[in-house]
Chains A and B, each alone.
Chain A
Amino acid sequence: MGNELLEIKNLTTSFRIGDGYYAAVDDVTLTINKNEVLGIVGESGSGKSALAFSIMGLHNRVKIEGNIMLNGQDLVKMSNSKLNKLRGDDLAMIFQDPLTALNPLMEIGDQIAETLLLHKPDMSQKQRRTRVIELLNMVGIPKPEYVYGQFPHELSGGMRQRVVIAIAIANKPELLIADEPTTALDVTIQAQILDLIRELKEDIHAGIILITHDLGVVAEMADRVAVMYAGQIVEIADVYSLFENPLHPYTKSLLNSVPAEGQDKLHVIQGIVPSLKNLPRTGCRFAARIPWINESAHEENPVLHEVSPGHFVRCTCHEHFYIPEESKEEQSDGVS
């Protein structure tokens, strides 16, 4: 289509634990189109945040393999100084916890102006100030002239998250990564922030990667959704297919474990999310958590299959998967 903004090819990000490297993101291939919101869903330890940090190049002391192509440039091979030119400009990020994401000793306005200073050196101080106030207006902060000189601790969590967003969109990024942007916020504030991100999307025409564990947020925001488990993408589809016709056992289990209308008992996924060191490296990584599915249902080396246009699912086990009538989670859940 020629509409691709970011192409991730066979990305593997490994952390060093003790003597070995362990892949937190394992062979992920993904494209993000212009003007699109891609939701990435997964629980803690699924590698979704590690993926975001890899794109931004914010990890240190990790091994990254594969390619991350933005406008024909490979971010993985890029030098730090070149990457610094992109970060905050074409590439921007919104963080999870607005209470800690801002420098407590710096004025709000200066923190936003810093991004401008770094990427638009021609701007005069006066122009920068005008732009910062414009940005504060854009993200819906009342009395921007006053807030400019305030410090983070003087603002509420919701307001601080708006400041974080203002920093991210200051230079009209092409790709905006939002890592759990509303997890730390109250529900009504969450709704406001999501509305804001949606409005801004119209304005800045960015591709957005929205990382969250909240299926509701994804259902409301995303155009396409990738589900991650244990460092891999297990399913990827447009948002309607994913919610109406989920295929992978993990996706189905997740959807069944959130309270919904007329549900008496929540579905429980057996066992625990394996730690990075103990991730199964061969076979279907979800197999251990659906032991009632016959081993032969799994592929030996599960790959993503395109089951319908744009809808990919890993492993063949989904063809045989069912949710058992009575979750027998209690017995097998001892500490191993």
Chain B
Amino acid sequence: MWKFIVRRLLITLPQIVLLSVLVFLMAQMMPGDALTGQVDPNVSPEIKEQIRERLGLNNPWYVQYSDWVTGIAQGDFGQSFRFKMPVTELLGQRLANTFWLSLVTLIFTYIIAIPLGITSGRYNDTLLDQAITGYTYLGFATPLFIFALVMVWVFGYQLGWFPTSGSVQPGLTPGSMDYVISKFKHLLLPALSMALIATVSTVQYLRSEIVDTKQKDFIITARAKGASESRVYNRHILRNSLLPIAAFFGWEITSLISGTIFIEQIFGYPGMGALFLETILLRDYSVVTALVLLFGTASILGALLSDIILSLVDPRIRIK
């Protein structure tokens, strides 16, 4: 197993390097550079050129790349053109916001998916299963941003149960109980909206795993041992069906990223997703680059996490 994990880590490293190179080259191709917007338009081209030279902007791309990477390694993503502040500073709070939003979404996703998937799989082709499957089809068919808009309108504006923008009520002291509760209230609705849609694929997946496992020969062996129905389900079917779901966990992170981009925008939630859209519209390339790099790395690490979980729980991989 250790061999497997080490090998998997060794593959991850070049993946991240490759990602950073691609992101860097992409940023290079964008119009303008770090100087654009920083200096007075009246400064003569000669002086600009001097500043460029001083900042190393005329160096060959690989030198610039290594400078850039060294910066990132030290937590320096450069300056935002528009916000006139270091990208790292800009990201700080938003990163935390998005992290909490994603975490709560993930928890909701599984809280919904596991009971529904199990019920649907265990009692397949009953009315209950058809109702659950019906919901998943609806979930597949509904675009997230429309669903989210409906949620904001109904629960935010009409019923007024939840705040409709921001991540915390202004004026509260960070760390106080009220602050935490306010934070939670702010992310509840976006998280739930996202989870309700994101969960359908997990429900479907779990359902088909259970239906599949139910028909396996070793289930008959278990019954022939005299195991009761509940034992057969808990000991044999569930465990074996949850395994692929556990492995799917890392991939879930990837889909969360694309989800947060819409959700944060619609709910006015100050996270990385919202920032991403904003900065694209503002052509704030240094921020976009940093975000793409972060999102990409998260995806790669998610895949890595999936594989590691799988290798931990599946003896067929564990013992190799």
Residue numbers of A with Cβ under 8 A of B are 56, 58, 80-81, 83-89, 92-93, 95, 97, 100-106, 111, 114-115, 118-119, 151, 153-154, 164, 167-168
Contacts and interface: CB of A to CB of B under 8 A. Distances in A.
A105 B310 CA distance: 12
Interface string B217-257: 11011111111110100011001100100000000000000
Contacts of B231: 118
Interface of B: 216-218, 220-229, 231, 235-236, 239-240, 243, 314-316, 319
Contacts of B314: 105
Contacts of A102: 218, 221
B124 to A, nearest CB: 12
Contact of A114 (B217, B225, B319): B225
Contacts of B225: 87-88, 114-115, 118, 167
Given A105-B239, A151-B316, A84 B227 contact: yes
Nearest to A56: B224
B224 A103 contact: no
A101 B226 contact: no
B218 A87 contact: no
Nearest to B228: A84
A167 B231 CA distance: 17
A164 B239 CA distance: 21
B221 A167 contact: yes
A46 B220 CA distance: 21
Contacts of A167: 221, 225
A80 B229 contact: yes
B6 to A, nearest CB: 22
29 contacts: A56-B224, A58-B220, A83-B226, A84-B226, A84-B227, A85-B226, A86-B226, A92-B224, A93-B224, A95-B217, A95-B221, A95-B224, A101-B217, A101-B218, A101-B220, A101-B221, A103-B222, A103-B236, A104-B315, A104-B316, A105-B243, A105-B315, A106-B236, A115-B225, A118-B225, A153-B315, A153-B316, A167-B221, A168-B224
Nearest to B237: A103
A89 B216 CA distance: 22
Contact of A100 (B216, B222, B227, B319): B216
Contacts of A87: 223-226
Contacts of B315: 104-105, 151, 153
Nearest to A97: B217
Nearest to B221: A101
A110 to B, nearest CB: 10
A62 to B, nearest CB: 14
A58 B227 CA distance: 12
Contacts of B239: 105
A80 B226 CA distance: 9
Contacts of A114: 222, 225, 227, 235
Contacts of B216: 100
A8 to B, nearest CB: 18
Residue among B221, B314, B316 with max Cβ neighbours from chain A (10 Å):
B221
Contact of B319 (A84, A85, A154): A154
A148 to B, nearest CB: 14
B240 A105 contact: yes
Given A105-B240, A118-B226, 16 more contacts: A56-B224, A58-B220, A80-B229, A88-B224, A88-B225, A97-B217, A100-B217, A105-B314, A106-B236, A111-B221, A114-B225, A119-B226, A151-B315, A151-B316, A153-B316, A168-B224
B316 A100 contact: no
A242 to B, nearest CB: 29
A58 B224 contact: yes
B218 A58 contact: no
B225 to A, nearest CB: 4
Contacts of B316: 104, 151, 153
Contacts of B218: 100-104
Contacts of B319: 151, 154
Contacts of A118: 225-227, 231
Contacts of A104: 218, 240, 315-316
A103 B224 CA distance: 13
Contacts of B229: 80
A102 B222 CA distance: 9
A18 B89 CA distance: 67
A167 B240 CA distance: 20
B228 A103 contact: no
Contacts of B220: 58, 95, 101
A161 to B, nearest CB: 12
Nearest to B240: A105
B15 to A, nearest CB: 29
Contacts of A84: 226-228
Contacts of A119: 226
Contacts of B226: 83-89, 115, 118-119
A101 B222 CA distance: 9
Nearest 3 CB-CB pairs, A to B? A88-B226, A88-B225, A87-B226
B231 to A, nearest CB: 8
